[in-house]
Structure 1
């Protein structure tokens, strides 16, 4: 409607000179072997970079230092204690309470093991409270720093302690009302999401092997985010593989060429592989935002590949030779690929200015993948087509 009412409003199309595009087509054909070697080396570097990637879905690290919340959190970790906690709900055997000596000794063994683990800066357990109480009631005798041998003695010591607490304070943060469960807390310092996930699995495994009577699951916000990230990553990998199969099948049917359909996998897969590989070397941290980049940018990557292959095959069917068909393809679609890719990259680059890690990672990785898709389609794909047809 706007264009109809403004007939004098004209756009001057942006075009890359045809001679430049033809020179690019000739260059990729003439140096096909060198291009394949260079990309093989890049793939090797990217593959090793993938091993450097660590999943770090830590809500505290989602915000950069421009946020006061992040600055305060970092100051607390530097000067006071860790900000990440992992909690365990330990339940006493049926018919007993948390003051059972056998149960408390098992819990104390687990607490002592936790204190030996890397990144653990504090462990809060009811057993520590009871041992301090027994030492105080024993006249500060060092030998009295232990768990009492009877359930009644432990319960009475705890009752005395609770009666001594200021008004409004109690032990409900560590004990349930029925006194059959107790909460054990481990505080971790400078722990990534992957560190928290590994710690939780290791702690659960240790309990299963050494204290099966009180074995339980680790819980916390960090553990939940780590599990969410793991499930999301698994789903994304399977989704990506499914999409690859479907898109390749559709391209084979559309192009009516099995070899071209198979070759389309190269420019469709490599941008994400190279992008995440280089990201592993440059940054390494991947969060929930990063993992959606592969499937989110896949449509853009495939679109570029379809444009090149469709025009290339159409030119071949008109009787042109392979080199002439490629030059004709670059003349007709080269400008469109460059303009759309640059426009999309510009939009994603704006997101890199965000102080929120998920937005920043999506913007950075998406811009890199789109750029690599353009390079792959205009440089690598012609070289692959030449070698495959020779």
Structure 2
């Protein structure tokens, strides 16, 4: 183990690694000394001495993915070669380098696994819903085209696949398929003319306004991810939007060309009972839904935004296994650095700084979440003891640090813990297993203690890879929630303007917010904690949730313009859109549930929580929105006669 062992007298000092001192011969001497060193226990040696560690430091360029991969591979090969010679020993590798490599490995592994599962499950679900294979095959091809377009947009932007963008192919494919299903449901349900080409043109024209509105609102929701502080989230949103737009374009261009090859078969009716319950039960259905929605939404009080990035990875990943091994025997893989600046050259070579650093070190060691602390004050105290310094003075500290640095081996110096101008020094704390909130609280406690105890003019920066990771989920969720909130209001206003009705704007707002609150509430009752995935769920679900509502509202008003009563229009809109809404809800819930099989926790939460929101949206659209429309919207402004659903297909096609 590479812990410094200091030997000295009043005239000289020698610094060497403890392992070199203890094992000068093949028969190593007693290791009990190392167990008395506070800077080593729980960092380089376990408390009972059965586990030893070697700490490695690397100087790697920023975003050096290749260097990270090469370094991890080299260390892994070194461990394998040592393990061959010592078969009775167990080895584990953990640290920030292996953490970054685990993210790289997850992006590669999850992409292939998730796409295959999503394609298989979606194909089976669509074949069951459409009762034939040609339409599902074409839907799947359009979805795959959208997925490839989304991934291609990342390539054109020069963005490499990462753990966030691995979900782009799955999400883009599902969104494109959901948009397309409304068209094909209309096509298979209508088929009133002698030409399949005209039937498909009618289906496209019939659904074009709500589809355009849906794609626009979904892209707006995805654009809100650009307000996140994490660039991968913005990349996810932009790539998914690109895939959705390209896939929808392919739907309008290619569908008429293949219409003649599709069989004449009505899709499976999965909405007869829900439609009857919604219309015939009148007030009881929405009242029942209010009770259910309130119960679900109450789970929001159980949600706590918190996460531990170690839990991001399943136990299939070497990093997770190594982190748990380290946590069991010593400390966890997380560490923070405290950079203390005296604001003057040579400030660390003073009694004031040494005494303050010693008090800070002792306070840190008293914290429950901290396993080990290494600081300059430990080195100064060790040198004073080795050289038998009687009194601590500014001059003695400066001389001790100079002697210590000159005694270090080749390639070693004090720059890891002391700045070149001797104005600042670094104290490192290794932590037990901690969550993001634990780290944020520890950071706040350190800042408070420092403000109350530091000498005048001193400053501190708490840093390390784990600090930004701890704040990342909270900050991203806050920024995305604000952006999504503005987008929701803007979408509701836009729909109100499009439909020329402030009531529609209010209903659109409810159709977005209620299912999302229900879905997150259900998550709160079942799991409680949620993290970075919440920001993605908000952006993804908004577009799809409003999609179903737009189709329902559009066809309800269209039926009113055709001369139907509110109750008849309500029934007609559910008859025309209910099957597609139910089928998309089934397909999307199954498709996003695929993400639950991911070994990356963010994807897992994303899939399950999104599926919960989609199910909640289906309940709202079937049992609440139709009755609100029937109660609040009784008329629709007159528009072009092509909107009349009673016109022949040819006339409607030419005038829509």
- TM beyond 0.5: yes
Cα gap change, 1:13 to 1:114, in 2 (>3 Å): farther
Partner of 1:132: 382
SS at structure 2 position matched to 1:184: strand
CA distance in 2, matches of 1:273, 1:348: 18
**How far 1:247 moved relative to its partner?**
1.0
Partner of 2:322: 72
SS at structure 2 position matched to 1:87: strand
Q: Does 1:152 align with 2:392?
A: no
Partner of 2:288: 34
Partner of 1:60: 310
Aligned runs of 1:277-288 on 2, under 5 Å? 277-288=521-532
TM-score, length of structure 2 as denominator length: 0.54
CA deviations 1:147-191 (Å, max 9, x no partner) are x53112122233343444444444332122332221111122111
CA deviations 1:358-386 (Å, max 9, x no partner) are 22222222222122111211123234445
CA distance in 1, matches of 2:262, 2:491: 40
Partner of 2:577: 333
Larger RCO: 1 or 2 (CA < 8 Å, sep 6+): 1
CA distance in 1, matches of 2:604, 2:467: 23
SS at structure 1 position matched to 2:313: coil
Partner of 1:15: 268
Partner of 2:350: 100
CA distance in 1, matches of 2:294, 2:281: 15
CA deviations 1:253-306 (Å, max 9, x no partner) are 122222232122222102222222222332333333331210122110111111
**How far 1:84 moved relative to its partner?**
0.9
Partner of 2:558: 314
Q: Does 1:186 align with 2:429?
A: yes
Cα gap change, 1:200 to 1:135, in 2 (>3 Å): same
Partner of 2:120: none
SS at structure 2 position matched to 1:122: strand
CA distance in 1, matches of 2:557, 2:502: 13
RMSD of the alignment, in Å? Answer: 2.7
Partner of 1:246: 490
CA distance in 1, matches of 2:508, 2:279: 21
**Contact 1:36–1:384 under 8 Å retained in 2:** no
CA distance in 2, matches of 1:383, 1:115: 62
SS at structure 2 position matched to 1:278: helix
Partner of 1:347: 591
Cα gap change, 1:388 to 1:203, in 2 (>3 Å): farther
SS at structure 2 position matched to 1:149: coil
CA distance in 2, matches of 1:9, 1:352: 33
**Contact 1:204–1:215 under 8 Å retained in 2:** no
The match for 1:91 among 318, 326, 341 is 341
**How far 1:110 moved relative to its partner?**
2.1
CA distance in 2, matches of 1:321, 1:255: 18
Cα gap change, 1:187 to 1:11, in 2 (>3 Å): farther
Instruction: Give 5+ residue unaligned stretches, structure 2.
Output: 1-253, 635-656
Q: Does 1:210 align with 2:443?
A: no
CA distance in 2, matches of 1:18, 1:113: 65
**How far 1:74 moved relative to its partner?**
0.7
**Contact 1:92–1:98 under 8 Å retained in 2:** yes
**Contact 1:82–1:190 under 8 Å retained in 2:** yes
Instruction: Give 5+ residue unaligned stretches, structure 1.
Output: none
SS at structure 1 position matched to 2:457: helix
**Contact 1:25–1:330 under 8 Å retained in 2:** no
Cα gap change, 1:28 to 1:153, in 2 (>3 Å): farther
Cα gap change, 1:384 to 1:338, in 2 (>3 Å): same
**How far 1:111 moved relative to its partner?**
2.1
Aligned runs of 1:118-129 on 2, under 5 Å? 118-129=368-379
Cα gap change, 1:34 to 1:375, in 2 (>3 Å): closer
Cα gap change, 1:27 to 1:112, in 2 (>3 Å): farther
**Contact 1:248–1:265 under 8 Å retained in 2:** yes
CA distance in 2, matches of 1:11, 1:119: 66
Cα gap change, 1:259 to 1:204, in 2 (>3 Å): same
**Contact 1:21–1:331 under 8 Å retained in 2:** no
**How far 1:9 moved relative to its partner?**
5.1
Aligned length: 379
Deviates more, 1:299-308 or 1:98-107: 98-107
The match for 1:237 among 451, 464, 481 is 481
**How far 1:317 moved relative to its partner?**
3.6
Partner of 1:295: 539
CA distance in 1, matches of 2:387, 2:599: 53
SS at structure 1 position matched to 2:337: strand
Deviates more, 1:88-97 or 1:250-259: 88-97
Cα gap change, 1:239 to 1:389, in 2 (>3 Å): same
SS at structure 1 position matched to 2:372: strand
Deviates more, 1:312-321 or 1:374-383: 312-321
**Contact 1:104–1:127 under 8 Å retained in 2:** yes
Deviation >6 Å, runs of 4+: none
Q: Does 1:25 align with 2:278?
A: yes
